[in-house]
Amino acid sequence: MSINTNLQGRLRNTPLPVGHGLLCLFEAVVNSIHAIAERGIDPDKGKITVEILRLPQSSFAFDEGKPKRGAPALEAILGFTVTDNGIGFNDANMSSFETLDTEYKSSQGCRGVGRLLWESRVRP
């Protein structure tokens, strides 16, 4: 039997509570760990970089020269870029990414819904 799916409906029905907003980042880091392991390199040589994307911070001339207390204010986080030196998007990984609820990495405890967490956070 074949079942059709509606991606917009699936995203709407994939909850991501506000208190778990970083779950999508954790998913990306876990994917990087798996990619490094799949590449077969020594774990000590694996590299994962998480870059925080923010709007450029603006300042006002009337603020200059006045001492400020505490840490400097930062602009809101727009998103993240996660890079690694793992195996990358080979054909098997890309096919898995394009398949909802895939079982591709189920033996590693993955459920194949991480891409939906990213989508559910960025849609308006």
Domain boundaries, given as residue ranges, for the chain = 18-56+73-122
- Mean of all residue pLDDT scores within the chain: 78
Residues 8 and 4: their CA atoms lie apart, in Å, by: 13
Q: What percent of the chain has pLDDT over 90?
A: 22
Residues 49 and 10: their CA atoms lie apart, in Å, by: 30
Mean predicted confidence (pLDDT) in 82-100: 85
The predicted-structure confidence for 15-63, as pLDDT tens digits, reads as follows 766 777 788 888 889 889 999 999 999 989 999 999 999 887 666 655 5
Phi, psi of 44 (to 5 degrees): -70, -20
Q: Which residue has the higher pLDDT, 87 or 75?
A: 87
What's the full length of the chain, in residues? 124
Please state whether the predicted TM-score (pTM) of the whole model is above 0.85. Answer: no
List, in sequence order, every residue forming a beta bridge with 54; answer none if it has no partner: 77
Locate the DSSP E strands across the chain: 48-54, 77-84
Name the residue among 7, 9, 16, 50 with its Cα closest to residue 122.
16
Could you give the C-alpha distances from 52 to 25, 76, 108, 114, in angstroms and in order?
A: 11, 10, 27, 19
